[in-house]
Chain A
Amino acid sequence: MRIFEPHAHMFSRVTDDYERMALAGIRAVLEPAFWLGQNRTSVGTFIDYFDTILGWERFRAAQFGIHHYCTMALNPREANDDRVNDDVMAVLPRYCQKDGVLAVGEIGLDDQTAKEEKYFLAQVELAKECGLPILIHTPHRDKKKGFERIIDLVRDSGIAMEHVLLDHGNEETIKVTRDLGCYQGFSIYPFTKMDPNRMTRIVLEYGVERMIINSAADWGVSDPLMVPRTVMKLRQARVPDSDIETLVWDNPVAFFAQSGRLDTAELEWPATANLRETYEGNAVLRGQDPDQM
């Protein structure tokens, strides 16, 4: 079964992950621009990061047959940091126009401050100007209140609800969001947030309409195979393959295709991988014979 992994910070993962993901059926991965584990202190480090997830990371993924896309944003954590927030906003209009950028995100709220709201709304406007959907990070602390506040802000902004993906949902938030008309994301973690068994119960109760699952794998304790692991649990629970395919392929493809930049014909096959090619002189081979890989 083909899988579109719609949220993984591959910047912080190793090539073994890419290989295992490809073998587990992951055909495409979307990398949201986010925090890097510690705060940055100048806009230059954002620019280099944006260039990396648009360039090197895309190349690296293709080496393992995986199509790589990304989103661009000032994340809510660093929206609070006056050393970078305005300067990052100034470069975002350029980066939101790049090929491979399928949405504005992760935007949203984290600590739920006034500054986070200010930059969240500015980026919703940017998304509207660019005709891009938005990927929303919802708070891990005081989640229900944060969800409700984000929904109010989104409603008032006038952005089309089908252009909105509310991520990091759980059993509580689904009750709030299921009738809004937006997409809902669930980040499946090994131990926290949401796990494959809980996700299976949600699917059995609520179905798969406008629902998306992801691993949100990053530099922490996380697993980029959580989507295929969840697929296995869903099958064991006798969820029909057609519903599972809707959840892990059709829905994320439909959501991000609203950008107008997702070539669905390209997705029919793995990304072209020529392991002898380099990106700016760098390869992933480290001296190994590509014909043996």
Chain B
Amino acid sequence: MKKKLFATAICLLMCAGYVFSAKMIKVIVTESYGKVMVKMNENAGWVKCYPGMTLDEKATVKTEAKGRATLMLYDGSKITVSQKSELLVKALTDNQKVLEQKSGKVRFKIAKLMQGKTFECKTPTAVCSIRGTEFTLDVGDDNQTELKVFEGLVAAAKPDGTGGEFQVGANQKMEFLKDLPPGAPTSFNDKDNEEESGNRREEMKIEAKAEINMDLSKEEVQKMAAAELKNAEYKQGKTIIDAFGQRVRIEEYIVRGAAASLGDNQFKLVVLNSRKDRFDWFQNIVSFNVPLASPLELKNANSYFSKWRDDWKKGIRDVDPVYFHRANQSGASNTVDDVTWGSTDGHVVNNAGTYTHIFDNYYFKINGVNKISYAPVAATINDITTDSRWTVDGQVGTMTYAQFDAWYQTNLTQSYPAGSDSMHTRSDLTFGTGNTYREEYISINDLGKIPKSTDYAQDKLKSNMEMVLSGSDFKGPGKKIDLCVEPKIFKDSGLIQ
């Protein structure tokens, strides 16, 4: 409503302004360069002339050296007053317009007149009647007048009529000297033609400059439309610069339904990364304990369980979760190699009013080969430290949780390539087969800058996470999987805490 009122008010203002302007204006100063003065009437003093200034009858325009002014009459006639010139607007009615040029050179481009209307330009030594034409009058130091006609016809005579009236046509000129009868019009000579040609070119140049300005303004508006699309992509995190200065384009999708082989309690989140020379992708399939009928219920279930987990970590453990994960499975790929990991058979254990969410099974695979996994020692896991049995690639038999933990601590090397205060961590693991695996997590802002750990700790989710997986089992581009993902997605997939 407010915006409609605003738009209406602007339109009304414009219409009112237009009507107002149409009634009032007789002469407008459209251009003024250098020193240009105006006297509003015979008794007024000289004041500076400005573009947009409006003049009426009896106004005089005077230009100094290097000054120039362009006037537009309400009928569209255009008058260019050159340097060191003076022009008086003597009469300006609908039927009669009279201009008096006292000195200097003025170019007139007079709009076609209706029948019965007159337009006269007077100098000390000549009177020109015009019907719609283009010409110049040049008044010299001795008041001699030179008339040059470029278009149409001008009837010219001495002010006292001596010598009679002459019809001066296009490309003709005529001179009026003080105290001498006028000679007949003569054709332009080469110098005149050259001068006229220069004038035309200058006029064209002025028009072209105005066109350029308008054109560039329009182009700028259209450029802004393209820039706005680009900015929106940045704002939505669809494009970032990674830790290595490379552009990464990111697309994120949520997938549901039987067409994607998903049950009504599941959703799949897909993140695609594209760089100049590589394509990586990540997916996370979450299965809830109950069907999620609507997009809103999915959102609610997701928020609910996310909060429940956060509360659990804070020690709030007396709430039996309404929604929880039955399974949470993820995969990352560079289109050649894939790393998959997941937890299945999730359930809630109630231990005397303390509720814990546990998965019965876990796996971590590289290119389909099981590297680390656990399964319940009996039917289900109530306590992971006692009820799980672990398997590691290359290690014979299974391990208890304590044995696995010991193996893990022995075979894992952690380092900080960018310094211990920087959010770039590297974990190297050597399996029983001797094969190696490396996980690097680089917290980066959208410009690929790595925050200090103190800054990161203040808000872990404000940085993007670049995850680089590599190892001796990798064969694809760069022998790595390189993914930039919003940290919340990694958090939801169980990768980061």
Partners in one complex: no
Mark A residues whose CB is within 8 Å of B.
none
Mark B residues whose CB is within 8 Å of A.
none
